[in-house]
């Protein structure tokens, strides 16, 4: 039964995919400004040659169909701006970077979020509760691009504990992933606390307490599974947020990830790279949501999927 659900979800993805492809394709083609404008202006003859090289002289529909055909073969086309690379190559270089950044951010979010939220639930209305909850409010209301530069200033420039930018050593990864994960740690912290607090008043918890288990044991052995359900279902939007938030983080820390390529290619009208990265983002997020739903279904026996 779960398998059919999965297949159904994937099946839905396909028409959406094509809808997105078409939408983005025509949207950027109709916009003013082509890929070959530049400071030293190009004579009409040269311009024509450039356009011919990239099939831009063909009618739009023909270009679209040509793109679809290549897409089905898994070929995302050549980059307009980086003449010696294909989009596939660009994505192959940039994707692992972004995935690593995202996973690290997620790790921070979960570790910090769950522990602080759990602590808060364990000792409600104490400093263990108030302090994390205040920080979590800050996290929700301060955007990444405020948190990032502040962290860089404190830890990178003044204290010189951590690098200010780059992606070479393990130390380089700390600040960017922390910056990116911070806002989500905040949310997860609140959700964990909320979920666990709800669990506490459940009957089976009271039974466990009556049986003489310590609060900590109760928390970790019994309440956690149910209490984390809100966190799990939040993971979908959290991952989506991390993926989009990476755009700004990569810019601040000069990380060669997918987000920077997306923005740069949008601004430079590198059509194929924009399409390729946008499609990748959509697919990624779709898959993440699917995975999250599966995990949720596995954890919560109450949920059944038709």
Partner 1 sequence: MSELSTAVPSSQGVSLWDDAWARLKKNRLALLAATFLILEVLIFFLAPLIAPHSYEVQDLERTMTGPSWRHWFGTDTLGRDLFARVLYGGRVSLTVGILASMVSAIVGVIYGSISGFLGGRWDNLMMRVVDVLYALPFIFLVIILMVYFGRNFMLLFVALGLTQWLTMARIVRGQVLTLRHKEFIEAATVLGIQRKRIVFRHLIPNTLGPVIVYLTLTVPAVILEEAFLSYLGLGIQAPLASWGTLIKEGVDVLDLAPWMLFFPALFLSATLFSLNFLGDGLRDALDPKGAKD
Partner 2 sequence: MIPMTRNRWFISFFVLWNLVAPGPCVHAAVSQVLHLGNGTEPKDLDPQTVTGVPETKIIQSLFEGLVDKDPKSLEPRPGVAESWKVSKDGKVYTFKLRRNAKWSNGDPVTAADFIFSWKRLLDPKTASEYAYQGYYFRGGKNFNTGKTDGSQLGIKSTDPYTLEVTLENPTPYFLSLLYHHSLYPVHQQTVEKYQMRWTRPEHIVSNGAFLLKKWQMNKVIIVERNPTYWDAVNVKLDSVHFHAIEKAETEEKLFQVKKLHATATVPTEKIASWTQNASGVLKRHPYLGTYYYWINVNRPPLNKPQVRKALALAIDREKLVKFVVKGGQAPAESFTPPGTGGFQPQAKLPRDLSRLNEAQALLAQAGFPKGKGFPTIEILYNTSEGHKKIAEAIQQMWSEHLGVKASLYNQEWKVFLDTQHSKNYMISRAGWIADYNDPHTFLELLTTGNGNNHSGWSNLNYDGVLEQVQKEISSKKRLELFQKAEDILLEELPVIPLYIYTRLYLLSPQVQGWYDNVEDIHPLKWVWIQ
- Rounded-to-integer distance, Cα 113 and Cα 231, Å: 9
Those residues whose C-beta lies under 8 Å from the C-beta of residue 88, and which sit 6 or more positions away, are 74, 75, 76, 276
By a kind-dependent CB cut-off of 5 to 8 A, residue 161 interacts, out of partner 2, partner 1, none, with: partner 2
Nearer to partner 2, 217 or 254 (CB): 254
- Rounded-to-integer distance, Cα 142 and Cα 123, Å: 26
Nearer to partner 1, 44 or 80 (CB): 80
Q: Does 143 bind partner 1 (CB under 8 A)?
A: yes
Query: Cβ 23 to partner 1, closest distance in Å?
Result: 8
CB-count exposure of residue 75 (10 Å: 0-12, 13-18, 19+)? middle
- Rounded-to-integer distance, Cα 177 and Cα 105, Å: 4
Query: Cβ 285 to partner 1, closest distance in Å?
Result: 5
| Residue 220: CB atoms within 10 Å | 13
Q: Does 135 bind partner 1 (CB under 8 A)?
A: no
Q: Does 10 bind partner 1 (CB under 8 A)?
A: no
Query: Cβ 208 to partner 1, closest distance in Å?
Result: 22
CB-count exposure of residue 29 (10 Å: 0-12, 13-18, 19+)? middle
Q: Does 165 bind partner 1 (CB under 8 A)?
A: no
Site track for partner 1 across 196-225, x = CB under 8 A: --x---------------------------
Residues within the interface to partner 2 (CB under 8 A) = 31-35, 37-43, 45-47, 49-50, 53, 78, 81-85, 90, 93-94, 152, 154, 156-169, 171, 251-254, 256-257, 260-261, 264, 267-269
Query: Cβ 195 to partner 1, closest distance in Å?
Result: 9
Q: Is there a contact between 132 and 189 (Cβ–Cβ < 8 Å)?
A: yes
Query: Cβ 268 to partner 2, closest distance in Å?
Result: 6
Nearer to partner 2, 156 or 237 (CB): 156
Q: Does 96 bind partner 1 (CB under 8 A)?
A: no
By a kind-dependent CB cut-off of 5 to 8 A, residue 111 interacts, out of partner 1, partner 2, none, with: none
By a kind-dependent CB cut-off of 5 to 8 A, residue 124 interacts, out of partner 1, partner 2, none, with: none
Sign of the torsion formed by the C-alpha atoms of 86, 88, 91 and 96:
negative
Single out the residue of 246, 247, 255, 273 in contact with partner 1 (rule: CB under 8 A).
Answer: 247
């Amino acid at each position: 039964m779960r398998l059919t659900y999965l297949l159904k979800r994937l099946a839905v993805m396909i028409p959406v995919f094509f809808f997105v492809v078409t939408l983005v394709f025509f949207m950027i083609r109709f916009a003013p400004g082509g890929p070959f404008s530049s400071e030293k202006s190009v004579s009409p003859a040269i311009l024509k040659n450039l356009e011919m090289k990239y099939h831009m002289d063909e009618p739009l529909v023909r270009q679209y169909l040509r793109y679809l055909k290549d897409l089905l073969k898994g070929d995302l086309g050549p980059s307009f701006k980086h003449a010696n690379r294909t989009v596939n190559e660009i994505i192959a270089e940039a994707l692992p970077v972004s995935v690593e950044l995202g996973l690290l951010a997620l790790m921070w979010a979960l570790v910090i979020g769950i522990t602080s939220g759990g602590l808060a639930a364990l000792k409600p209305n104490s400093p263990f509760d108030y302090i994390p909850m205040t920080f979590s409010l800050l996290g929700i209301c301060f955007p990444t691009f405020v948190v990032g530069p502040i962290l860089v200033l404190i830890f990178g420039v003044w204290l010189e504990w951590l690098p200010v930018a780059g992606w070479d050593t393990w130390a380089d990864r700390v600040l960017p992933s922390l910056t990116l994960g911070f806002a989500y740690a905040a949310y997860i912290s609140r959700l964990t606390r909320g979920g666990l607090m709800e669990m506490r008043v459940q009957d089976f918890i009271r039974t466990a307490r009556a049986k003489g288990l310590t609060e900590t044991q109760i928390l970790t052995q019994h309440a956690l599974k149910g209490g984390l359900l809100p966190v799990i279902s939040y993971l979908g939007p959290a991952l989506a947020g991390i993926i989009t938030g990476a755009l700004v983080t990569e810019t601040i820390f000069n990380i060669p990830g997918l987000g920077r390529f997306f923005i740069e290619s949008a601004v430079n009208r590198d059509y194929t790279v924009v399409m390729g990265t946008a499609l990748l983002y959509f697919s990624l997020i779709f898959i993440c949501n699917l995975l999250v739903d599966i995990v949720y279904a596995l954890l919560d026996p109450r949920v059944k999927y038709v």
